[in-house]
Amino acid sequence: MEKITARTNDKIKYAVRLGESASLRKEAGEFFLEGARLCFDAAQTGVEIKQAFFTAKALWKYEDYVGDIIAKSGICYEISAEVSQKLSGTENSQGVFCICSMKTPPEGDGIDPCGKYIALENLQDPSNLGAICRSAEAIGLDGLIVSGGCDIYNPKALRAAMGSSLRMNMISVENLADFISQANNKGMLTLASVPRNTATDIRTVEMSGGVICCVGNEGSGLTQQVIEKCKKQVVIPMNGRAESFNASAAAAILAWELKR
């Protein structure tokens, strides 16, 4: 295994930039992953691992995970503790990192007209995005639709998702309003989640067929275009002076109701 000890090594600089820059990720079709378990999950899930980096300590400390990662990786490097520190976004790094190819989009639109989906528009907080992936997988949704600024390959989003975003059916769309129109044409029920108690109580919505429920930005909610395309506006009824739920709490409850 080739060794890298210089923090200024080009491969290391590229990996750091890949973690930092959404536009570089998009351009290269690659993303950066940190953590023994997450990299192992990527290997298990069939994500293409182009390069893997391990500290000497990680090679024995996480040997249960490392073997699979090495087996699936194009090239592996041993890195010094200093290089690991440069790559890491956390205080106590495990010293395991990968550069992976983004998953190829599903054939067609990736939507089963009888399935249950949450669609996220312009979520701001990557930790919310990751937590919603985790809930969506655990609840057993058929996929997660992401649009606008929702970058599932952001390192914080990947960490919060705990591998679920690598395993789930993730559908990335350019224009959510257009996508909702197409779903309407397929006979799916499309719901816009809004924080207004005058909208339809989510508990009273008939969920037997295919459903897409849209959740918007933490501060500004869904765009008017998306709300107008959806067949129904729904609300999680609220008490007290609370103005809304945290986006990941709202998405968890909505996903839970979709699958009730």
Which residues contribute to the site for a copy of itself (CB under 8 A)? 127, 131-132, 134-135, 137-140, 160, 162-164, 167-168, 203, 236, 238-246, 248-253, 256, 260
The distance of closest approach from Cβ of residue 131 to a copy of itself in the complex, given in angstroms and rounded to an integer, is 4
The distance of closest approach from Cβ of residue 158 to a copy of itself in the complex, given in angstroms and rounded to an integer, is 14
The distance of closest approach from Cβ of residue 77 to a copy of itself in the complex, given in angstroms and rounded to an integer, is 28
Which CB atom, from 12 or from 166, has the smaller least distance to a copy of itself? 166
Strands (E), 185-254: 189-193, 200-201, 211-215, 232-235
The distance of closest approach from Cβ of residue 241 to a copy of itself in the complex, given in angstroms and rounded to an integer, is 6
Residue 107 makes CB contacts below 8 A (sequence gap 6+) with: none
Which CB atom, from 59 or from 139, has the smaller least distance to a copy of itself? 139
Task: Read off the tokens for 47.
Answer: 């994500």
The distance of closest approach from Cβ of residue 224 to a copy of itself in the complex, given in angstroms and rounded to an integer, is 24
Picking from 174, 134, 151, the residue whose alpha carbon sits closest to that of residue 20 is: 151
Which CB atom, from 180 or from 235, has the smaller least distance to a copy of itself? 235
Which CB atom, from 67 or from 140, has the smaller least distance to a copy of itself? 140
Strands (E), 56-179: 73-79, 96-101, 116-121, 143-147, 170-173
Q: How many CB atoms lie within 10 A of CB 224?
A: 10
203 in helix, strand or coil? helix
Beta strands 116-121; 96-101: pairing state: unpaired
Do the beta carbons of residue 149 and residue 172 sit within 8 Å? no
Which CB atom, from 10 or from 91, has the smaller least distance to a copy of itself? 91
Which CB atom, from 85 or from 197, has the smaller least distance to a copy of itself? 197
The distance of closest approach from Cβ of residue 94 to a copy of itself in the complex, given in angstroms and rounded to an integer, is 14
Q: What is the CA radius of gyration of the chain?
A: 20
Which CB atom, from 147 or from 248, has the smaller least distance to a copy of itself? 248
Q: Cα separation of 217 and 13, whole Å?
A: 32
The distance of closest approach from Cβ of residue 151 to a copy of itself in the complex, given in angstroms and rounded to an integer, is 18
Q: How many CB atoms lie within 10 A of CB 83?
A: 25
